[in-house]
Structure 1
Amino acid sequence: MAIRQGRGITLRQFLADVASIRAMLMPGQYLLNTCQDRYHFMVGLAAAMIAGKTSLLPSMYTPGSVKQIAEFAPEVFCLGDDGNDVGIPYLPFPAELPEAPATASPVVPSLPETLPVAYVFTSGSTGVPVPHLKTWGDLVYAVRAEALCLGLLDGRRYTVIGTVPAQHMYGFESTIVMIWQCAGVIATERHFFPADICAEISMVSRPRVLVSTPIHLRAILAIDAPLPSVDLLLSATAPLGRDLAEEAERRFKSKLIEIYGSTETGVVATRRSSQTDDWHLFPELSWTMKDGRMSVCGGHLQHAVATADHIETLGGNRFRLYGRAADLVNVAGKRSSIGYLNYQLNNIPGVLDGVFFMPDPPDDGRVTRLVAFAVAPGLDVQTIYTLLKQQIDPVFVPRPLMLVDKLPRNGTGKIPREALKTLMADWIRGEEKGP
């Protein structure tokens, strides 16, 4: 079932661990599973499911997000393994669990399709995080469609290494539920440093799959050394440039598949980013126009779900993605997207990370200007301005451009809008104080 600290964990032991944790669960319908160890998370999730409890999976654990969760589910309790008491009743994951008897016959529980497994919260990158309920049937049908499109149902036992948190919809589907449905093996450690991620990949047996994001892949590819081979690369959470996809395929000696989906829909489409800009919707899904917005329906979706993205259908199951509607900006009658502007900023040599941001309009009616943050040691603002003007229309050049030590990205590389507001307020206060 899993590789943890170099040791294999059998299905027999996993089911015994699930039974042990189930017996420890507190009263209450809702469980906040903050476990950072992917195996601990998996055990806690399964224990909650068998006990008929619903897990709550936010993308981050700030005081504000925990307060929102407590308001959403007042009877919630927390299962965690990092000792971080988040302010609600807390159950620490045990350091040791009993060994399963060697004679035990593992019986995999059968669960109803309608079982409410989890509320998964949106990232908050465009506003306040919103919860979405996922039933067992929703999750199983979605990940089996994903596994089929990725070729993971070929009878081989794949080992999955993830750089994304299990609490995020992408990590939840692709590193937890898909493992259960494909009889795969999960490497449970979630490393921070690129060298540690590569060491983990090298340690596990093939065939192996790396489930990652553009921000994590960019950091790994910055290593000036040969990278371990994998049999499949997955990327999601942000658009992947073709140059980055080609380099990743070359250095990992594997094809890279980009996944498209959302917290609302789960995974619904894929593309090979090094070869095409076109996405391929899963065979049982289709696009429809509803209330003036493109919606995806069929397959694992119980009803049509509107997308926040601009979609152009191309016939068959192919489509083009032109970014989120909320990303579109109109300045002096000219239009662009935050995604395109971010791409141009991050393409500047010496910019390690960067993001554009459109603040809320001021109450006094003044025109709102785009701003940007950049992590660019060794560069000054004027140099970045000069290089940006070579790539984008002058009306989209940010005022101001703020140089910072790091951006407040969460575990999947996204930046909540509230975090950008805070970053901007901190920068303004620093400017007002002066040197």
Structure 2
Amino acid sequence: MTTDSSTTETGGLLPLLADRDPDAPLAWRAGSPVSTRQYLADVARFAPTLPAQGPAVNLCVDRYAFAVSLGAAMVRGHASLLPPDARPDTLARLVETGGPNLFALTDDPKLQTPGMHRVLIEDRSSLEGDTGAVVPQVDGAMHAVSLLTSGSTGVPQPHAKTWRTLVGDVAVAVERLCRVLGRPTLEGLTLVATVPVQHSYGLESSALLAMLGGAAFESSRPFFPADVAQTLASVPRPRALVTTPFHLKTLLLSGIALPPVDLILSATAPLSPQLAQQAEQAMGAVLLEIYGSTESGQVATRRTTDSEIWETFGEIRVHAEPSADGGPERFIFQGDFMPEPTPMADVLELLDERRFRLFGRANDLIHVAGRRSSLAHLNFHLNSIPGVDDGAFWLPDEVADGVVRPVAFVVAPTLGAGEIIAALRQRLEAVFVPRRVVQVKAFPREGTGKLTVRALREFALAQLAEDDTPVQMVHAVPADHPVFAGHFPGQPLLPGALVLAEVMEAIHRVPALTARLGANPTLAAAKFLAPVRPGSSLSIELHPEPGAARGVRFDVRCDGVVAVTGRWTAVQDSA
């Protein structure tokens, strides 16, 4: 394979592809290899057809079409903008901020790009033409890509990367992967990825790991478990699965027989040791987790079944420094390919300048009744319960008695709320055990499996507004409650009015039930079936009613025996 420059780095030039056999596969499409030589020919044919000015918005779903578009854009001198999706509102915001020369690259003839000139990437590999293996040289300082993430406002936030940064990013990853696999190079390794290539992790660990690291990639993006298994089987070994904890758990829960895999890469969220071990056993692979961010790129890894400790790549170092505003300390990564020191939005425990433990995102920390934890920690334990297919904790805006109470949302068809709460009591401090568990069919996750704060909040509020899941709360009756002195001497019992007051207090602790009943609910019915004695343990069960009535039935159990039952409604009725 030759280059169009006498050196690879003179004048800051870096090759579009790492040195490799031009006839070896760079990609696989539907079980057929596409050679490096063919890729270079496709880039050479396509680059002159692009507009003279850019930048380009790369919307290609097929990984090979994406790689051709990326290479052609750089040869033409254009940066590529990589949005998280191709929804109309996302593209409209890009049009507003991208300038008058913005154009779109897509492999979908049906995709409309209003406000942007559209260039369709067609399969040109059957066309005749020069199939020489000349590797273009790219200025290392060139703005190669901008990874676009959506902030809390939904406006795409660009994170620009130079070609030198991307080349260095992949180089340190190749060194680590070769060490883990016990191989001198990644030549012959084929990557099958379930994550979109426009995401920083998907870009680094599929398209770029092949282009710059010597591996090959499968061009599709399989999503359903059967498709993942079929795609893995369609490419030769050694092969790697590039995925996320959410996708990996779905794949393993499916029960589908999986072909052997040599390497599993996982990122976007911490993986539980149990799931990592299950994945390694099911596929006979080494599983490596990758830690990083869109801003920093990939900076560390860990072998999850061996240790909870993360180790940075190459010469990357991490240190802590006080926050300028007096808040929690920040953790700064720097070195190797990173153009400048980059803070992480996570809470770490540093063992030394290259090793650390990860506790979760800084904005993920929560305080309940004076105790501190993180939603990531709670979610870890929730998803470790056998029978929970997916789950997430959410902290409402409203508080009861000055204390916020977490709510757990789960996809767990075979488990009841009580079983999940009982399991969490074995795993969490009591203050973090949810009083409410809501069964859902699925979460509004992104293509990477991420569940954003904004999406979860909107989803949670919508689910709580319609939820009919029973709520259970426990209350201990103090033996020295002053009411027992006069009610009644010798045979003390808790007055019915106070029991009903405890029920109403329990209702007020659930925002959705408070909204359902309104500010002045009506006691529609109440039956007192057993006395409540000093020191008793009351279990208050609230049952939201479906249909038009939408009242709340309640049962109060005293040491396991139903003591009071009844119903509250928003308006007086005849029930």
Structure 2 unmatched runs, 5+? 1-25, 324-329, 468-515, 517-544, 548-575
Q: Distance in 2 between matches of 1:81 and 1:164?
A: 17
Name the SS of the counterpart of 2:124 in structure 1.
coil
* Change beyond 3 A, Cα 1:155–1:80: closer
Alignment match, 2:228? 197
Match of 1:407 among 443, 456, 477: 443
Corresponding residue for residue 41 of structure 1? 66
For residue 352 of structure 1, the aligned residue among 389, 414, 420 is 389
Give the match for residue 18 of structure 1.
43
Counting only pairs closer than 5 Å after superposition, residues 314-329 of structure 1 correspond to structure 2 as 314-315=351-352, 317-329=354-366
SS at match of 1:47: helix
Deviations for 1:85-139, whole angstroms, at most 9, x for unmatched residues? 2544252534442635476312110001111011112365898653211110000
Does residue 113 (structure 1) correspond to residue 145 (structure 2)? The answer is: no
CA spacing shift, 1:194–1:87, aligned 2, 3 Å: same
Separation (CA, whole Å) in 2 of partners of 1:328 and 1:154: 41
Counterpart for residue 379 of structure 2 = 342
The worse-fitting range, judged by mean Cα deviation, of 46-55 and 312-321 is 312-321
How far did 1:298 drift? Answer: 0.9
Q: Secondary structure at the match of 2:367?
A: strand
Give TM-score scaled by structure 1 length. Answer: 0.91
In structure 2, the partner of 1:141 is: 168
Does residue 169 (structure 1) correspond to residue 200 (structure 2)? The answer is yes
Matched, 1:298 2:335: yes
The answer to whether the 8 A contact 1:408-1:420 is kept is yes
Corresponding residue of 2:409: 373
In 1: Cα distance, 2:322 partner to 2:71 partner:
38
Is residue 244 from structure 1 mapped to residue 275 from structure 2 by the alignment?
yes
Bigger mean CA deviation after superposition, 88-97 or 341-350? 88-97
Question: Which residue of structure 1 lines up, in the alignment, with residue 456 of structure 2?
Answer: 420
2:368 pairs with 1:331: yes
1 CA distance for matches of 2:184 and 2:343?
30
Contact 2:411 2:440 in 1 (8 A): yes
Q: Give the SS at the match of 2:331.
A: strand
Counterpart in 1 of 2:103? 77
Alignment of 1:221-300 (within 5 A): 221-224=252-255, 226-292=257-323, 293-300=330-337
Q: Is the 8 A contact 1:12 1:100 kept in 2?
A: no
Offset of residue 350 of structure 1: 2.2
**Aligned residues of 1:308 and 1:324 also touching (Cα < 8 A):** yes
The CA deviation at 1:420 is 1.6
Q: Aligned to 1:130, what secondary structure does the other structure show?
A: strand
1:347-404 deviation digits (Å, cap 9, x = unpaired): 2232211111234579x99765433321122434344333333322333234653322
Confirm or deny: 8 A CA contact 1:126 1:416 kept in the other structure.
no
Change (3 A) 1:360 1:251: same
State the alpha-carbon separation in 1 of the partners of residues 95 and 443 from structure 2.
Answer: 28
Residues 288 and 12 of structure 1: CA distance in aligned 2, closer, same or farther (over 3 Å): same
Give the direction of change, closer, same or farther, for the CA distance of 1:372–1:64 in structure 2 (3 Å limit). Answer: farther
- Greater relative contact order (CA < 8 Å, ≥ 6 in sequence): 1
1:390 aligns with 2:426: yes
- Secondary structure (helix, strand or coil) at the match of 1:78 reads strand
Alignment deviations for residues 141-192 of structure 1 (CA, whole Å, 9 cap, x no partner): 0111001111065263211111111011001011011211122211111111
Q: Distance in 1 between matches of 2:289 and 2:349?
A: 18
CA distance in 1: counterparts of 2:147 and 2:62, whole angstroms:
18
Question: Equivalences for 1:210-221 in 2 at 5 Å?
Answer: 210-221=241-252
Distance of 1:282 and 1:207 partners within structure 2: 23
Contact map agreement 1:327 1:337 (CA 8 A) in 2: yes
The one-letter code matched in structure 1 to 2:34 is I
| Cα displacement (A) at 1:39 | 0.7
**Structure 2 counterpart of 1:276, which letter?**
S
Contact 1:310 1:322 in 2 (8 A): yes
2:475 corresponds to: none
Aligned length: 434
Change (3 A) 1:360 1:74: farther
Matched, 1:68 2:93: yes
Task: Indicate conservation of the 8 Å contact 1:124/1:417, yes or no.
Answer: no
Asked if the contact 2:195–2:447 (Cα under 8 Å) also holds between the matched residues in 1, the reply is: yes
1:311 and 2:330 correspond: no
Conserved 8 A contact 1:281-1:317:
yes
8 A contact 2:280–2:286 mirrored in 1? yes
| TM-align CA RMSD | 2.7
Q: Greater CA deviation, 309-318 or 235-244?
A: 309-318
Aligned residues of 1:261 and 1:267 also touching (Cα < 8 A): yes
Q: CA deviation at 1:325?
A: 0.8
Deviation at 1:2, TM superposition (A): 0.9
- Asked whether the 8 Å contact 1:297–1:304 carries over to 2, the reply is yes
Cα drift, residue 248 of structure 1 = 1.3
User: SS state of the match for residue 315, structure 1?
Assistant: coil
SS of 1:182's partner is coil
Distance 1:231 1:120 in 2: 29
Local SS of the residue matching 1:2: strand
Change (3 A) 1:156 1:77: closer
Moved more, 200-209 or 22-31: 22-31
- The answer to whether the 8 A contact 1:125-1:414 is kept is no
The structure with the larger Rg is 2
Contact 1:22 1:47 in 2 (8 A): yes
**Partner SS state of residue 379, structure 1:** coil
In 2, Cα distance between equivalents of 1:98 and 1:299: 37
Would the aligned equivalents of 1:375 and 1:404 in 2 still touch at CA under 8 Å? yes
Structure 1 range deviating more: 201-210 or 148-157: 148-157
Q: TM-score, normalised by structure 2?
A: 0.70
The whole-number CA distance in structure 2 between the counterparts of 1:418 and 1:65 is 16
